[in-house]
Every structure is written in structure tokens, then in C-alpha cells.
Chains A and B, each alone.
Chain A
Amino acid sequence: MRLAQINRSLLYVLLAVMACLYLVPIYVLGATSFKGLNEITLDQMWRLPSHLDFSGYKIAFDKLAPNFLNSLYLAVPATLLSALFGSLNGYVLSKWQFRGSNALFALMLFGMFIPYQSILIPLIQFLQKIHLYNSIPGLILVHVVYGLPICTLIFRNFYAGVPDEIMEAAKIDGTGFFGVYRYIIMPLSITGFVVVGIWQFTNIWNEFLFAVTLTSQKQQPVMVALQNLSGSQIVQWNVQMAGAILAALPTLLVYIFLGKYFVRGLLAGSIKG
């Protein structure tokens, strides 16, 4: 009994230590972003700001705001389209399988794991040819296409949980492919759409390789702008940290309010399907 109690206390101490370690970067981000120019010397890194100074945020905001909007114009439509296609594909691949559909699905899934470097050069040539290179619509197209495998996978596993009996009953009533989708599958899909939506939004917002190679200057999403900000020697440290917080804010907010669904996306198709 005594031993169990000691173990219990030790467990909480360990948990607290780990929690503090995980929060270190957040502390650095937060504390530094609110510091003024005179407090951002290297030796004062761990100190809290003496007062809240917003000049870092002001500069970061001025520099990142246009790119922030680009990311929004990119992530929102791309997420919606991905979810729509994913849902349709998942519906067919779970409830209307045809000969060879599983093999096709496997071929599709492979697309989720490839290093995107291996399609990048042709992709750029292709986008140049259709005049979508260096444009937000071009990036939307890219994210929708390469998001197909994961979105299809999540929806397919989601719909596998819809009992076939419901489908049968609807089919006997004479409801066809679209009827079943519209009246049975769609209403059951809200959670699926939330999971896929959050997953895609987070990934597209945070994505860097496509963003940095397919756009330049004015069309750049926020992560590229943040990288430029932190890569430049003349930008102050507090501005970099404030910029990082601003750029991370949308996905952090999504995580804080809808974390449960984010984790479901993370584990998509996990143990219990």
C-alpha cells in the first residue's frame, strides 16, 4: 500500500516533468514574442518580459498578413473539395465495391506515402502548362489531388461502420446510388467530415514543400513567409517568435477546440477501424 502510494506520487512527478519539458518551446515563443527590443538579448532568453510589448506582433503582422490570407484562401477551399471527393470515393469503396476496387484503392493509398519530391519537377511543368503555376488555385488543385488518398481512406473506414442492413433496406425501397448517399450516408457523415476537414486543414496550412516550390512572393502561403522571416538575419528575434505564433494560431485554435477530432484523424483507420 505504502509502495503503491509512492509509485503514484512518482507517476505524477514524472508526468509534471514531462509536461513542463513539452511546454518549453511554448514558453520561449510566448515570452519572447512580448518582449521589447532591449530585452531580446541572448542572455535574457528565459526571462519573462518586464512588460507586455506588442511591437514584435505589429511588425510580424504587417509582414505576414497578406500571406496569412493566402493560406486561408488556399486551405479552406482545398479542405472542402478534399472532403467532398473523399466522401464520395469512400462511399463507393466501402458500399459499392466493384471488381478490382480494392486493388485500385491500394494503388491510390500509395500516393499518400510518396515523397513529394518525386513528383515535383513534372508537377511544376504541368502547372506552368495550364497556367496555374505560382497561383493559389494551382496550390488548391495540388492539395486536393494529393489529399485524395488520405481523405478516401478516412471516409472508407468511417462508412465501413455503417451497417449494410440500412443500405439493403434503402435499396429494397428502390433508393439508388445517389439516394442512399444523400439520405442515409450524408446525414451519418458529419463526424467524418469534421475529422477529414480538420486533418486536411491542419496539413494544408502547415505544408511547406509545395508552398515553397510552387509559389513565389505575393502568392506565398504563411509558412513560407515565416521561414523567410526567420531566415533573414536582420529580423529581430521577438518578431520571429510573434510571427511563429501568428502563423500557428489557426491550427492551434482548431486543436484546442476540436482536439478530439484531430486525434481521430491522426489515428484514422486505427485499431478499431
Chain B
Amino acid sequence: MRTESAVYVPAGTERGVKKPRRKRKGGRWVPFLMVLPSFAAILVFVYGFIAWTGYVSLSNWNTLVKDLSFAGLSNFKFLFGDFRFQSDLRNTLMFTVLFIAATMAIGIFLAMMVDAKIKAEALFRNLFIFPMALSFVVTGVVWQWILNPSTGVNLILKSFGMTDPPKWYTSTEIVPGIAWGLIDFGLPLALIAVVIAAVWQMSGFTMAMYLAGLRAIPDELREAARMDGAAERQVFTRIILPQLRPVTVSVVIILGHISLKIFDLIFAMTGPGAMFLTDVPGVYMFETTFRGNHYAQGAAIAVIMLLFVSLLIVPYLFSSLKKEEG
């Protein structure tokens, strides 16, 4: 996954960074010069390249021959009228909702169990987190077999007498399948298989986050509530859940941005699937750019992906850093 960087900005670190306002003798430029190369690299590799991608997305470069003549919004128009891209948008929405909901529910459930002063706590904790150390590619390779309709889980289901076991990622059903644009809107059942694999990989992370959150709630708080006559259920809903809200926000942001840009898991496990039922923008961008040489279209998909992620991340970054300064 990059796996993916599953880390967030501290929301109001307690020992937050103080702003030193004292005068310093000489060498005032040294600290700045030391971080300058890094900032310059970020400026070019992040912001410069994003600008360049934006420029490419507005061009006619849709063949192997580089053609940067201005094409207006034609690539974007093409995408929004494209069966595959419409499918991708639907799939991203469905995947994101299912993935976040399931990962959070299982993560909080695991965290509550592990936090219940159990024996062999470290063993269970480590077991639930270890899939995070694996690559999405490995996860995809394994789950592709476990959820293969002609073997794996279905062997077990059949041995229990199920005559018509699920088709998993080969299913072509969309529920409820309302015609919308060129596509049928709804949940493609094939996506559930990918969600299962993703949840297996990421729920340990959610557990770790919630566990840290639970451990940060002072025991006195629960005790005080109990002294005031609150029932255990009330302690949970009135004390613990509100205290976990900042963790939940972080979890949603992190899982959300991972799912909006997901690529490797789907690429390794199912690919675009029949009728693009398991396709996502990340896979489409890769295939159209590097296999079809439609660079401008690929850039347009990337711009849209960046837009989605930014809508999620930018407000979060702002509020986190504001909080820290205040």
C-alpha cells in the first residue's frame, strides 16, 4: 500500500511547538538554509508537477507523439461522458463508503476487546495489525484465491450445503441498479470482495488508532461518571464516544484519502473487472496513460482524483495547524 502513508497531523499536540520570539545572535539564516533544499524539492516535485499535470490535462496529447496544443476542457468532457469513468465514480463512492464503515466498525470493535484488560493483549494486538506491514500487492494475490468463486471460501460454503455460493469479484450484479447516465447506479456486488481484502489489511490500523484514543481517556473520567450513577452503556455513549471523536475524524480522513486513490490492491486482485465493475480512477489512469498513451486523458483523471483528495485533506490540514497555533 503504500502502501500508503497512513499518518496524520497531530490535532493540538499537548507539548505543542512554541514559537520562540527571542533574539538570536548571528546565524539566523542557517536553519532556513538547512530546510531550503527540502522545500525547494517539494515546490518542484509536488506543486510544479501538479501544475504541469493540470496543463497536460488541458492539451491534445492523446497519442504517443507529444502534442501540448490547447484542447480546453475536452478531456474532462470526454471522461464525464465515458462509460468507464462513470463506472469508476460509482465504484469509488461505493467502495469508499463500505470500506470506511466496515473498517471503522471492526476497528473499534477490536479496540474495545483488546482494551478490556485481556490476557495476551500484545499477541492479539500484533496479530490484528500485522496485515498493515504487507504490501497491497501481496494482499491482492492472496485474496484473489480465497475469494475465487471456484475454490477458497466457496469450498467451505458448499461443504455446508450452500448450492449457490456468491460469485465474489466475478459477480456482474449491481444492487439496486438504477439506470443513471450510461451506467447502472448502485453497489456492484463484485466490489464487496475487494472491500473484504482492504478491510483485512486496514482494520488493524483503525484498531491501533482507537486503542490509543481509549488509552488517552483518563480513568478518573469514567470513574467520576460511574460515581454519578451512570450505567456502563451511558459511560460508553456519553463519555467514551465523545472523547473518541477526534480519533474518528482522523480515521475517516486517512481511510477516505486511501480509498479515493486506491490502485495497487485492485490492480493486483481483480483489475478493472467485467464491465468495469471493480474499476477505479487509479487503475483507469494507469491503463489509459501507460498502455493507451492517452496522456491528456490520464492527466485529467489524475486532476479529478487530486480534487477529491484535496476536498478531504485541505480543510483537515488547515484546522489541525490552526489548532496547534492557537
Determine which of B2, B37, B268, B305 lies in contact with A117 in the assembled complex, contact meaning CB atoms within 8 Å.
B305
Report A147-172 CB contacts with B as 1/0, cut-off 8 Å: 01110111011001100100000000
Docked complex Cα distance between A227 and B135 (Å)? 11
Tell whether, in the assembled complex, residue A259 and residue B129 are in contact, meaning their CB atoms are under 8 Å apart: yes
B80 interface contact, C-beta 8 A? no
Docked complex Cα distance between A17 and B268 (Å)? 28
Tell whether, in the assembled complex, residue A121 and residue B145 are in contact, meaning their CB atoms are under 8 Å apart: no
Question: What's the interface size class on A, roughly?
Answer: 35 or more
| Shortest Cβ gap from B207 to chain A (Å) | 10
Determine which of B27, B281, B286 lies in contact with A176 in the assembled complex, contact meaning CB atoms within 8 Å.
B27
Tell whether, in the assembled complex, residue B38 and residue A223 are in contact, meaning their CB atoms are under 8 Å apart: no
B290 interface contact, C-beta 8 A? yes
Name the B residues within 8 Å of A267 (CB-CB).
7, 208-209, 212
Docked complex Cα distance between A96 and B304 (Å)? 38
Name the A residues within 8 Å of B260 (CB-CB).
115
With A113-B309, A115-B302, A266-B6 given, is the CB distance from A23 to B127 under 8 Å?
yes
Tell whether, in the assembled complex, residue A209 and residue B264 are in contact, meaning their CB atoms are under 8 Å apart: yes
Cβ-closest chain A residue relative to B299 = A121
B155 interface contact, C-beta 8 A? yes
Q: What residues of chain A have their CB less than 8 Å away from a CB belonging to chain B? A: 11-12, 14-15, 18-19, 22-25, 28-29, 32, 42-43, 45-46, 85, 88-89, 92-94, 96-98, 101-102, 104-123, 126, 145-146, 148-150, 152-154, 156-157, 160-161, 164, 176-178, 202-203, 205-209, 212-213, 223, 226-227, 230-231, 237, 240-241, 244, 247-248, 251-252, 254-255, 259, 262-263, 265-273
Additional 18 contacts, C-beta under 8 A, given A119-B46, A206-B3, A265-B7: A15-B113, A19-B127, A22-B130, A89-B38, A108-B39, A110-B313, A115-B302, A118-B303, A119-B53, A121-B52, A121-B298, A153-B9, A160-B17, A248-B134, A267-B7, A269-B9, A271-B10, A273-B14
